[in-house]
């Protein structure tokens, strides 16, 4: 009798061990998953709000042309600093004086908003916030020494970056992000003046590249936004971007096309543009691309109203701001 019961008991206990083992394994898996998610929550890519970005563009334009050494420039600078301070973890302000090609001494400020400053792996996002003092491509020569709104040339890139800053204040990608607003990009040689052309542009980024906000600053790669708000914009593979950071060009254009912005991001080669990214590449060795609106149908290769009195809010299309903003967001949340 005893003999007969033993195998039965044995079977029952084996079954018990087997089932409890299976259950424990399941619990362990669930616990592992929960622990992993706690440390590393599933990243939901936020939605870029184009109306909010449009509002940030409009706000900058409302100060008047942001030409260095003017009140509008100082007041807009104060507003940019305050806005970055609302959203970023750490804000740096770089005040300095630089000499323009015509001898004018410019009082300039670069603003840097850092997100997750403790992270080693970082991405640099940049745009220029100043506007050109002269509409030297205006069809009316009377305007060739007049300042203009710079809604697209200046405010659009900053508008997209401020909306990204707002979103990054609510949710963080795996990488750290630095938003850099460069001053005095657009004080380059006037069409009708004599002087050196090449290093007359991008004075704020030349200064930052030589003395970054942190002396050991480095980033995996950088993305510069310039003229990213006009209706019908076309973003081509810019020359220096392909030269210094071809892998970043490929990555950004692939993502843009995958998420439905292929009509803005074209797989065509554009020209070589002397812009802030040139000095970030050349001096700091951070592979940096320029997302810049290049057109084939205009004499200068940029949007129709480039450096004219018509670069105002009328040229801004929220659909363009959205294409650029959602693409950059997707890039940084996939890193």
Q: Which residues bind ligand AHN (CB under 6 A)?
A: 153, 186, 188, 201, 226, 273-275
Q: How far apart, in whole angstroms, are the C-alpha atoms of residue 70 and residue 239?
A: 34
Q: Which does 201 bind (CB under 5 to 8 A by kind): Zn ion, ligand AHN, none?
A: ligand AHN
Q: How far apart, in whole angstroms, are the C-alpha atoms of residue 171 and residue 251?
A: 22
Shortest approach of Zn ion to residue 185 CB, angstroms?
7
Shortest approach of Zn ion to residue 90 CB, angstroms?
29
**List 186, 275, 276, 293, residue binding Zn ion (CB under 5 A):** 186
Using CB under 5 A as the binding rule, whether residue 153 contacts Zn ion is answered as yes
E strand spans, 47-191: 90-99, 105-115, 122-128, 176-182
Shortest approach of ligand AHN to residue 237 CB, angstroms?
17
Q: Are 201 and 129 in contact (CB under 8 A)?
A: no
DSSP β-ladder status, 105-115 and 176-182: antiparallel
Q: Which does 84 bind (CB under 5 to 8 A by kind): ligand AHN, Zn ion, none?
A: none
Q: Which does 275 bind (CB under 5 to 8 A by kind): Zn ion, ligand AHN, none?
A: ligand AHN
Using CB under 5 A as the binding rule, whether residue 276 contacts Zn ion is answered as no
Using DSSP's 3-state secondary structure scheme, residue 186 falls into coil
Contacts of Zn ion in 123-152 (CB under 5 A): 132
Q: In the complex, which residue's CB is closest to ligand AHN?
A: 274
Burial class (CB in 10 A: 0-12, 13-18, 19+), 31: exposed
Query: What sign has the CA pseudo-torsion 268, 198, 193, 65?
Result: positive
Shortest approach of ligand AHN to residue 120 CB, angstroms?
32
Q: Which is nearer to Zn ion, 102 or 218 (CB)?
A: 102
Q: How far apart, in whole angstroms, are the C-alpha atoms of residue 93 and residue 258?
A: 37
Binding site for Zn ion (CB under 5 A): 132, 153, 186
């Amino acid at each position: 009798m005893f003999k007969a019961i033993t195998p039965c008991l044995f079977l029952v206990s084996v079954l018990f061990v087997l089932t409890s083992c299976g259950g424990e394994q399941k619990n362990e898996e669930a616990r592992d998953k929960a622990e992993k998610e706690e440390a590393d929550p599933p990243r939901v890519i936020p939605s870029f709000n184009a109306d909010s970005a449009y509002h940030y563009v409009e706000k900058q334009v409302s100060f008047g042309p942001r030409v260095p050494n003017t009140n509008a420039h100082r007041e807009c600078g104060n507003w940019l600093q305050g806005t970055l301070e609302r959203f970023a973890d750490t804000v740096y302000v770089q005040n300095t004086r630089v000499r323009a090609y015509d001898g004018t001494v410019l009082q300039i400020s670069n603003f840097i908003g850092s997100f997750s400053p403790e992270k080693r792996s970082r991405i640099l996002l940049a745009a220029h916030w100043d506007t050109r003092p002269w509409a030297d491509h205006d069809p009316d020569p009377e305007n060739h020494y007049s300042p203009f709104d710079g809604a697209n040339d200046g405010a659009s890139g900053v508008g997209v970056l401020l909306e990204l800053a707002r979103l990054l204040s609510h949710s963080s990608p795996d990488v750290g992000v630095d938003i850099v607003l460069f001053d005095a990009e657009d004080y380059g040689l006037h069409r009708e003046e004599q002087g050196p052309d090449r290093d007359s542009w991008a004075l704020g980024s030349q200064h930052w590249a030589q003395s970054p906000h942190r002396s050991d600053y480095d980033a995996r790669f950088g993305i510069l936004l310039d003229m990213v708000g006009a209706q019908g914009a076309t973003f081509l593979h810019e020359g220096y971007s392909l030269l210094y950071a071809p892998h970043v060009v490929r990555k950004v254009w692939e993502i843009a096309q995958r998420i439905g912005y292929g009509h803005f991001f074209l797989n065509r080669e554009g020209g070589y543009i002397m812009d802030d990214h040139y000095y970030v590449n050349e001096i700091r060795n951070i592979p940096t691309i320029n997302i810049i609106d290049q057109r084939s149908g205009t004499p200068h290769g940029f949007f129709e109203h480039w450096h004219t009195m018509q670069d105002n809010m009328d040229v801004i299309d929220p659909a363009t701001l959205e294409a650029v903003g959602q693409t950059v967001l997707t890039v940084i949340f996939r890193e």
